[in-house]
Amino acid sequence: MTQVTSAARAAAQALPRAGWPPAPLLRAPETSGTIFRVTTLAALAPLGAGLLFFGYRAAILALLSVVGCVGIEGLYFRITRAPALADRRHAVLTGVLLALTLPPHAAWYVPLVGAAFAILIGKAIFGGVGHFLWQPALVGRLAIAGLFALPVLNPAQPSDWPLLAPPRIFTGDVTDCRPTTLYQGWDQTPLPAGGEGFLLPRPVQTLRGLTHGDWPVYGSVLEVFGDLPPIRDLLLGATPGGLGETSALIILLAGLYLVYRHYVPAVLVMAMVTAAAFTVAIAPIQLLGPTGTVRLEWLPITLEPLEHGFAYVSYHLCSGELLLAAFFLAPEMTSRPVTPRGQLVFGLGCGVLAMLLRLYGPFPLSGYLAVLVMNTFTPVLERLTRPRVLGRPPLWQRMLGGPRYLRR
Amino acid sequence: MRIPHPGTFAGGLALPEDKSATRHSPVRPLGPLAQLRVPLELCGPDRAEPTVAPGDRVEAGQVIARAGELPVRSPATGIVRALGRGLLVGGAGGLVETPTVDLAEPMGPEGPVVVAKPCVWQDLEPEALLERIAAGGLVRFGRPVEPLHVWLARARRRRVDTLILNGMENQPALTASHRLLVEHGPAVLEGLGILGQLLGTRRRLLAVDRRHIDDYRHLDAAARAHRVQPLAVLDKYPAGHDILLTRLLTRREVPPGHEPLDVGAACVSPEACLALHRWLTAGESTLGRVVTLGGPSVHWPGNYLVPFGAQAGDVLASVGAREGERLCHGSPMAGLVVGPAVLVGPMTSALLALAEPAVEPPTACIRCAWCTDHCPVRLDVANLNDLFEMGQLDRAGRYGVQACLGCGVCSFVCPARLPLTHRMAQMRRALNAPTVPAAALPADARALDEVTR
């Protein structure tokens, strides 16, 4: 009996005290909070560019979006006590990402409604961080697109979006912009009388003219460049568009920082941008023939001298929501696949789909829609692209009757 | 040293090395201990029968028990106080119970303990050599822990064509094998030569960390003498694991749940080679092993020759560690957190006293994919963690969780602080031992929910 108790005491002393975590005792310094915080800071860079070109309203909309997300998530947590929703930093990140996608002339309640959809439909009903299927900010953006018609600033051309003129940057009001006929690039155009900026078609809308029948049909790709702002404006962000969508250069820099931190898989971004480039280089466009008939031309990159073809592809890459989606929205950790090959397929799918929807789809938010569609396939992609475990024979060997290298 | 490039593998980590405290400290004997609790079953349950009774006086090197056919020798001179039971870290990485012979006031031997006549190993036939090794009670210092002659017999049946001396030791803070190679390198290589002759292998490799090749240049002549090819292997973190080393040096992949022997490669540790060499050429028996003792609070960190059966707490106290600190058995990455009564055995490569951690509660997985990216055997750890939380053990088996090496990389990188390595090990053990009810698995997951609530 004494031997048993002494053995039990020895066993108890040999075990570690309760509450100590198991090995490994070393831990990398980065936590989930770090990831959310750094991604939010990186996302603030395109928002800063938006502040410059769309004025103080950008800041108000972003603030409302963030406050909406945090508030609604806090409220939901108070009611349900769902543990995965306790982290406020992901709500902030969702709010900032939602703000990046908003039109700059939206009404004040639009970001609040978007935040409600993003948090409740996009995140909470799935169980919070780590469980949702679709990128929550995009769910909010899609709800906004379905619920609200944009305020019509220019009744003659309802699809025109505002952009502040150079003397009014940061301080102007984007709802007070006027149409202009003298547009010669952002800093060469005189300020319309009585307005704060210009009303212009978005570059992506002009490019859609090459493939959509309801637009005046162009005779050649070169003709389209006359209706587009110079590529320098697209790189800087001095074009109409969403709050954080326009500045290609800033998105690129902030996104590359995230790639460097390994928060964004490089393979996904590269696959998405490359697939988009190849798609627009190949996908057919409509051109007006010499006899007045509309003809369909494949491989638009080769229709004219190659520099024009490459310019056409670059305009497509730098305009619209493609880069924002590639660097900030598609790589959202929870809604993209975890396997490297899955990320490759996911990126390729996003790029091809984004461009096909932009060229031939009726819906204007093509990049966001493509990401949401591919998000839906994430669990399937993960299952199909699971890496081969070390020591397991590849599939073709298993089908031929198993490995031959075991020694019996 | 010639450096053919042995290639690399996907995953793994560049870890801080953290060896400067003990890398240059020569092996010393440990000071006197208050008691020894000599474990009798070093190689798992083996019906050990003590041949001594409480009150007997035993000499160092005297046979005090027989475990199966393996003689167990007393590591010190002293008086048997009692026959008890103790806990030891076994080959599977968990604690195993073993009967012990408790010695009061043990006196360590002054020098090597010669218990048999030396022999000329070159003159012996393989069968005679195997018998001689079996008589020595040698164990294999490595996974799985088993008598050396049992392992050798298995290796001979597998027609091993590559013999790898694993001198990598690329775990942080571990320097015991490194010191053995530096101080007794020629003897270790001769031990490898003995194994090579016994197994009939021409290809004998010495794998060392490429950061430290300067420390091993003096082994060149001995390596040539025993036809051993030295190789400088990359320093990415789990490259020193037997299975990855086999993959790097032979291009053969070990199927999940198997060992390198099954693909014709044999990995041995310097400790086993040295013990074999000493037993055959000098008749010395192995009564302890070199252990790295370290940690921030340890006054005299270093590499010490510790007798089997010393209690971890006593050992660390004798080098000046504070009371009540967390004890780490083995390396901080792949080791085990243990209590002070754990006994020193063949798997004890290090004992580290570490300060109590700032406990960060685990949060929900955000699917950052870093665990999947860094896994050296390419397990989809993120999805396996999901399966753990849902308790789907059979699917985890289909996903290949048996291939887990337990290296700790996934837990290291996890930004949600999830105990991923621990969970993978639990699933692996549950799959290997079907008696464990699967319903017992997600207890850890439930505890996680309580923490985050």
pLDDT at B434: 54
pLDDT at B441: 42
Does pLDDT of A403 surpass 70?
Answer: no
Overall average pLDDT of the B406-435 stretch: 88
Tell me, what DSSP letter sits at residue A13?
Answer: H
Inter-chain CB proximity A35 and B368 less than 8 Å: yes
**Can you tell me the distance from the alpha carbon of B81 to that of B54, in angstroms, rounded to the nearest whole number?**
5
The Cα of B410 is separated from the nearest Cα of chain A by a number of Å equal to 9
**Can you tell me the distance from the alpha carbon of A90 to that of A94, in angstroms, rounded to the nearest whole number?**
6
Residue A177 confidence class, pLDDT cut points 50, 70, 90: very high
Average pLDDT, chain B: 89
Inter-chain CB proximity B364 and A16 less than 8 Å: no
Average pLDDT, chain A: 90
- The pTM assigned to this predicted structure is 0.91
Which of the pair, A32 or B44, is modelled with greater confidence?
A32
Inter-chain CB proximity B84 and A6 less than 8 Å: yes
Percent helix, strand and coil across chain A, each rounded to 5? Answer: 55, 5, 40
Inter-chain CB proximity B449 and A12 less than 8 Å: no
Span A6-23, pLDDT tens digits: 555 555 566 665 556 677
Nearest to B421 among A24, A265, A407 (CB): A24
pLDDT at B444: 42
**Least-confidence region, from A11-15, A204-208, B147-151:** A11-15
Overall average pLDDT of the B30-44 stretch: 89
Does pLDDT of B1 surpass 60?
Answer: no
Span B66-110, pLDDT tens digits: 887 788 999 999 999 999 988 988 877 778 888 999 999 898 888
pLDDT at A12: 55
Span B194-219, pLDDT tens digits: 999 999 999 999 999 999 999 999 99
Which residues of A fall within a CB distance of 8 Å from B339? 12-17
Does pLDDT of B37 surpass 90?
Answer: yes
Residue A157 confidence class, pLDDT cut points 50, 70, 90: confident
**Least-confidence region, from A51-55, B355-359, B435-439:** B435-439
Does pLDDT of B282 surpass 60?
Answer: yes
Residue of A389, A392, A395, A405 to mutate when probing chain B, most B C-beta within 10 A: A389
Overall average pLDDT of the A245-250 stretch: 96
pLDDT at B290: 96
Name A307's Cβ contacts closer than 8 Å, sequence gap at least 6.
none
Calculate the alpha carbon distances from B335 to A103, A144, B308 in Å.
54, 53, 18
pLDDT at B298: 92
Which residues of A fall within a CB distance of 8 Å from B415? 28, 30-32, 34-35
Backbone angles phi, psi at A206, to 5 degrees: -60, -40
Span A292-303, pLDDT tens digits: 788 888 999 999
- pLDDT over 70 percentage in chain B: 94
pLDDT at A402: 64
**Can you tell me the distance from the alpha carbon of B184 to that of B270, in angstroms, rounded to the nearest whole number?**
9
Calculate the alpha carbon distances from A86 to A46, A76, A82 in Å.
27, 10, 7
Does pLDDT of A238 surpass 90?
Answer: yes
Does pLDDT of A365 surpass 50?
Answer: yes
pLDDT at A92: 97
**ipTM of this complex:** 0.90
3-state secondary structure of B104: strand
Does pLDDT of A30 surpass 80?
Answer: yes
The pair of three-digit structure tokens given for residue B162, joined into one six-digit string: 């590559």
Nearest residue of A to residue B412, measured between CA atoms: A27
pLDDT at B439: 40
Overall average pLDDT of the B6-27 stretch: 90
Which H/E stretch holds residue A315? helix A306-318
Task: Please provide the size of chain A in residues.
Answer: 408
- pLDDT over 90 percentage in chain A: 66
Q: How many CB atoms are closer than 10 A to CB A241?
A: 26
pLDDT at A9: 57
pLDDT at B380: 96
Name B440's Cβ contacts closer than 8 Å, sequence gap at least 6.
none
**Can you tell me the distance from the alpha carbon of B69 to that of B46, in angstroms, rounded to the nearest whole number?**
9
Tell me, what DSSP letter sits at residue B336?
Answer: E
Residue of B36, B343, B365 to mutate when probing chain A, most A C-beta within 10 A: B365
Name A261's Cβ contacts closer than 8 Å, sequence gap at least 6.
A38
Strands (E), A26-143: none
Nearest to A22 among B172, B380, B422 (CB): B422
The answer to whether the beta carbons of residues A169 and A53 sit under 8 Å apart is yes
pLDDT at B436: 42
